[in-house]
Amino acid sequence: DQQVKQNSPSLSVQEGRISILNCDYTNSMFDYFLWYKKYPAEGPTFLISISSIKDKNEDGRFTVFLNKSAKHLSLHIVPSQPGDSAVYFCAAYFGNEKLTFGTGTRLTIIP
Amino acid sequence: NAGVTQTPKFQVLKTGQSMTLQCAQDMNHEYMSWYRQDPGMGLRLIHYSVGAGITDQGEVPNGYNVSRSTTEDFPLRLLSAAPSQTSVYFCASNTGTDIIGAFFGQGTRLTVV
């Protein structure tokens, strides 16, 4: 049972435009939601997070939106840059003990 | 700071062989975890530990053992490797009380032939 789902395996966006990555979840008990970025041959690195009591968190070019009623979160990157090309994983915490990851979306920024 | 260090980076095993993937962190984090990443599957939790002497199973624990004798180290043991264990393995650590998530090692690419 996949509790965190990323239904788009890949996404291509022109440089300078907005990239929107989506994630759905089924467990309403999750406390925090996070986005990780992963380059080839490297471990995932933390990008941005949001608490379940908020609906938006912004950090520079990155904004995460949470819609609890729809059990949906999204990551907006604007403007998109070539260095943003990577695989993005959404993940969720329950009880701060373990992360549950989605399957990932490969973002390609086209120059 | 070294962060989370995994060794080895690459390994080829024959079916039935055993080996230990090493993971060490120098951030004094209480929580450590092992994940495997497979194409189309994301990262799946194998085992985790909330402190020295305490371990628990994750989503895909079969075929793997762990122990946590110190805060710094969390080795993952494959007792009898199988081709289904061909994967990229990541170790992670976090304090468990912050919201910035876990720190990951660079991964171990394991091939079982």
Reported as a single tens digit per residue, the pLDDT across B10-52 is 999 999 999 999 999 999 999 999 999 998 888 999 999 989 9
Amino acid at A86: A
**Which of B30, B99, B106, B108 is most worth mutating to test chain A (most A CB atoms within 10 A of its CB)?**
B99
The mean per-residue pLDDT over the stretch B70-79 comes to: 96
Nearest CA among B4, B8, B2 for reference residue B94: B4
Amino acid at A80: S
Query: Which has the higher per-residue pLDDT, B54 or A95?
Result: B54
Strand, helix or coil for residue B85 = helix
How would you class A10 by CB atoms within 10 Å of its CB: exposed for 0-12, middle for 13-18, buried for 19 or more? exposed
Q: What is the mean pLDDT of chain B?
A: 92
Q: How far apart are CA B73 and CA B52, in angstroms?
A: 9
Buried b (16+ CB within 10 A) or exposed e, B1-12: eeebebeeeebe
What pLDDT, on the 0 to 100 scale, is given for residue B38? 92
How would DSSP label each residue in A63-91? EEEEETTTTEEEEEESS--GGG-EEEEEE
Searching chain A, which residue's CA lies closest to the CA of residue B37?
A: A103
Planar angle of CA B81, B87, B92, nearest 5 degrees: 105
What pLDDT, on the 0 to 100 scale, is given for residue A22? 98
- Each residue's pLDDT expressed in tens, for chain A with a length of 111 residues: 678 999 999 999 999 999 999 999 999 989 889 999 999 989 999 999 999 999 999 999 999 999 999 999 999 999 999 999 999 999 998 775 678 899 999 999 999
CB neighbours (10 Å) of residue B15? 11
Q: A-side interface with B, Cβ within 8 Å?
A: 4, 6, 9, 32, 34, 36, 41-46, 49, 51, 89, 91, 93, 96-104
Round to the nearest angstrom and report the end-to-end CA distance of chain A. Answer: 38
What pLDDT, on the 0 to 100 scale, is given for residue B41? 84
What pLDDT, on the 0 to 100 scale, is given for residue A44? 94
Structure tokens belonging to residue A25: 């979840």
The confidence band for B62, taking pLDDT boundaries of 50, 70 and 90, is very high
Q: What percent of chain B has pLDDT over 90?
A: 81
Which residues make Cβ contacts (< 8 Å) with residue A9, sequence separation at least 6?
A103, A104, A105, A106, B40
Contact state of A91 with B40 under an 8 Å Cβ cutoff: no
Contact state of A44 with B4 under an 8 Å Cβ cutoff: no
CB neighbours (10 Å) of residue B67? 15
Q: How far apart are CA A63 and CA A74, in angstroms?
A: 8
Round to the nearest angstrom and report the end-to-end CA distance of chain B. Answer: 36
Chain A contacts of B43, Cβ < 8 Å? 44, 89, 91, 99, 101
